[in-house]
Amino acid sequence: MLRLHFTAEDLGRVRFARHPDPLWETVLSLNLLGTTRGRAVFAPWRAHIKADASRLPPWQSRMLRTLAPPIGDFPDFLTPPQASQGLEAGIDAVLSTPRRRLRRELAVLTRLPAWARPLAEGEPEALTRLGDALRAYHAVAVAPFWPRTQALLDAERAVHARALLDHGVEGLLNNLGPTMRWRPPVLEVDYPIEHAIHLAGRGLTLVPSAFCWHTPITFVDPGLPPVLVYPLPRGPVWWTGPAHSERTGALGNLLGPTRAACLRLIEDNCTTGELARRSGVSPPSASQHATSLREAGLIVSVRHANTVIHALTPLGTALLHPASHHPAGPPPEPSGPPTAPDADTVCADSLRRA
């Protein structure tokens, strides 16, 4: 069990990563690559990258699998906070790790082969080779699925943004999923060992991850900036995106399958870029679909700085969930003279009868 101890100040410093972390995804995918864990979710991904991964130089595969073993801890320096700014920023931080820290963190590995000693000594050539290995593996195993990973993270952020708006930070923490439980002032997390981190005003960064499997993960060193990486919700075809042939029922017949899918995705609120990533269409196409839905009165779009955020109107919600808008019984008798319904009422009633 991992226990994260919050103060009142920490509750004001909880944030979600805006983008997937390229080095967390790289290292966690390495943990999974040589195993059968998560077969239903990751077996197709393993099969898809198998040929390209086998063409990596043997020394690169050996180095990475040693540093990121399938079981047990791996060095914290492989996943620096700077990676939130991109892969190259993260690798630069890895290569700048002080020698003392390299030695200390490599000691968490159960067995350090002789070839790793130059790395532990911080020799420039060994560090350069590590950077090359991380880039090459990331290009094969992670980068091809980056747009889909970002789309999954966008959807996850939207869900928790709604929880935050409705119930505050504690409601958000209470809505993180079955592996995490908010018992004020402690967030309890399923974890393979007993571990406690006192946030002490530093806050917490939540990093949803496509390659985190089964239970969340954090740094070995509790003194590092607090981060909790946890599994994104995903299905067996998460890495390919939604199938364009997926049946959309009556809504798809009415709007067309892609536009119907866009309307469903906007239910969680999203920007035009997020809509493009989630639906698998180009940004210009996503903008056109959003314009059509807005002109039909199904969504509203609000500009915030350089971003346009889309949300459903009541009419759009009624179209997506018509059953929830049926009256439970016969309408009450009118108490006064009849009045003409407005246009929105007529349109909504027509949609319910369709």
Q: What is the pTM for the complete model shown?
A: 0.75
pLDDT (0 to 100) of residue 237: 66
Q: How confident is the model at residue 249 (pLDDT cuts 50, 70, 90)?
A: low
CA dist 155 and 148 (Å) reads: 11
Mean pLDDT estimate for the chain? 84
Domains of the chain: 2-18+148-231 (no CATH), 22-144 (no CATH), 249-318 (1.10.10.10)
- Tokens of residue 231, six digits: 């599994």
The pLDDT-based confidence of 323 (bands split at 50, 70, 90) is: low
CA 101 to each of CA 76, 95, 196: distance values in angstroms, whole numbers, following the listed order: 9, 12, 22
Inform me whether the pLDDT recorded for 333 exceeds 50.
no
Cα–chain center distance at 107:
31
48-92 pLDDT per residue, tens: 999 999 999 999 999 999 999 988 899 999 999 999 999 999 999
263-280 pLDDT per residue, tens: 888 887 888 988 888 888
- Label residue 241 by pLDDT band (50, 70, 90): low
Highest-scoring range by mean pLDDT, 122-131, 305-314, 316-325? 122-131
Q: Angle of helix 58-67 relative to helix 124-141, nearest 10 degrees?
A: 90
| CA-based nearest residue to 309, from 348, 344, 265 | 265
Ranking 168-172, 300-304, 325-329 by mean pLDDT, the lowest is 325-329
pLDDT of residue 308: 83
Beta carbons of 77 and 27 less than 8 angstroms apart: no
